[in-house]
Amino acid sequence: MVVRGDVADSEKVERLATDTEARFGPIDVWINNAMVTVLSPVAEMKPEEFRRVMEVNYLGTVHGTLAALSRMRPRNRGTIVQVGSALAYRSIPLQSAYCASKAAIRGFTDSLRSELLHDGSSVRLTMVQLPAVNTPQFEVMRNRMPRRPQPVPPIFSPKMIADAILYAAEHPGREMVVAGSALQAIFGQKVAPGLIDLYLARTGYESQQREEAEQPGRPDNLFEALPGDRGADGPFSGQSRRSSIQLWLRERPALAITSSLALAAAGIGALARRRPADVDRDRHETDQL
């Protein structure tokens, strides 16, 4: 069932929830996924562009969450999935509005999670932090740069991301980071944010633009949906990865734990075997000095 409307309009989101339950019964899983973005330096952004990105991405998520909660809490069951991004943790140049909206979603979700725990609610809440994905957004997003936009490689296929979101809906942990590149971005922000600032200052502009020149005046979907169905895949299918070792291990936690323990045991064993030789070598080098 399709309900036309804008997630920035809370009444339309409420209608979506009402019509869905009228046709299919109680909602078990609610996924907040709508987004828009602008590729532009901050100094060239307009106030209404910042406002619109926050209305769709952040407030759209809030509206969807409230609609789901009002139905799930009385039943004391259900799962809400927030589709986030590694950029909720590590912002990049030219995406200030989008990064801010994803960080806001993470802050909102963390607050709500604590409240649900306080209330002893069985409603589950999870956030999926995505890597770069080959969606059609790069054909319809607003772009103020001279060349056509692209996601920062490595790029992953929508099919893999859909599988990850389905897994999160069925196994709703606190948070799920998809793919090693997203994990690296989050980890890098925690341990060396200043170094990442410098790295992105040098690479962030080039890595988000293709070789082709942008078409001046190209229509975009920031304020209005564009006609037509562009499908799930964007123009980067030839570069898209269809699997992730990190995700594969996340979906098999027992295997991941076993592998980690095996690697740790192997490392300890190797260290133990090498220690006598290392000691003798160190003593020899000390004598030489």
Q: Contact, 95 vs 87, CB < 8 A?
A: yes
The pTM score is 0.85
Cα 210–Cα 214–Cα 219 angle in degrees, nearest 5: 125
Look at residues 42, 131, 151 and name the one whose alpha carbon lies nearest to residue 87.
131
Distances (CA, A) of 204 to 22, 54, 145, 149, 210: 47, 22, 12, 12, 12
Per-residue pLDDT of the chain (289 residues; tens, 9 = 90+): 888 899 999 999 999 999 999 999 999 999 999 999 999 999 999 999 999 999 999 999 999 999 999 999 999 999 999 999 999 999 999 999 999 999 999 999 999 999 999 999 999 999 999 999 999 999 999 999 999 999 999 999 999 999 999 999 999 999 999 999 999 999 999 999 999 999 999 999 999 999 999 999 999 999 999 999 999 999 998 888 877 777 777 777 765 555 555 555 555 665 566 555 554 555 555 454 4
Look at residues 132, 139, 134 and name the one whose alpha carbon lies nearest to residue 228.
139
Where helices occur in the chain by DSSP H, the ranges are 10-24, 47-53, 60-75, 96-119, 137-140, 158-170, 180-191, 193-203, 245-250, 253-288
Helix (H, G, I), strand (E, B) or coil at 149: strand
Which conformational region is residue 120 in: left (phi greater than 0), alpha (psi within -120 to 50 degrees), or beta?
A: left
